[in-house]
């Protein structure tokens, strides 16, 4: 369940691994135009995107999906994810990283260079 639609909102609908127990280790806003892309990467923490504007073709859990205004994207620690293409601009999401563990590395990590625990 990496993308939650409006009808899925509610604490009882969130995946068990989404329970925040280790605190928030980072947050910010990512916004772009039609040329916005983010390379495949992973983190040593869970990451959640709250899409506030636009629509994008993303990859998470090894599958392509569409995330749009009002959706929440849930990404597990070590799970590779990316933004392939912005379909409706401007695109913007607020991101929150939490439950940092593993090696506790910060930022975008890449397969073949940075390996999860």
pLDDT digits (tens, 9 = 90+) for 73-104: 999 989 999 999 999 999 999 998 887 666 67
Phi, psi of 17 (to 5 degrees): -70, -10
**Quick one: CATH architecture of 3-98?**
Sandwich (2.60)
pLDDT of 14 reads: 63
Residue 98 confidence (pLDDT): 85
Q: Which residue has the tokens 């923490």?
A: 45
User: Which positions ≥6 away from 1 have C-beta within 8 Å?
Assistant: 8, 13, 15, 74
Side-chain half-sphere exposure of 15, counting CA atoms within 13 A? 14
> Residue 51 corresponds to which tokens in the numbers above?
């899409």
- pLDDT number for residue 64: 96
Please state whether the predicted TM-score (pTM) of the whole model is above 0.85: no
Q: What is the DSSP letter of 45?
A: S
Domain limits, the chain = 3-98
The closest alpha carbon to 61, from 92, 43, 82, 45, belongs to 82
Residues of the chain falling short of pLDDT 70: 1-22, 100-103, 114-117
C-alpha–C-alpha distance, residues 19 and 90, integer Å: 30
């Amino acid at each position: 369940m990496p993308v939650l639609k409006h009808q899925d909102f509610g604490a009882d609908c969130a995946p068990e691994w989404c329970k925040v127990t280790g605190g928030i280790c980072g947050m910010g806003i990512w916004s772009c135009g039609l040329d916005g892309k983010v390379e495949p990467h992973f983190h040593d923490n869970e990451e959640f995107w709250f899409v506030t504007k636009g629509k994008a073709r993303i990859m998470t859990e090894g599958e392509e999906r569409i995330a749009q205004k009002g959706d929440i994207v849930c990404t597990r620690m070590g799970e590779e994810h990316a933004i392939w293409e912005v379909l409706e601009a401007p695109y913007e999401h607020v991101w929150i990283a939490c439950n940092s563990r593993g090696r506790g590395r910060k930022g975008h990590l890449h397969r073949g260079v940075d390996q999860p625990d």
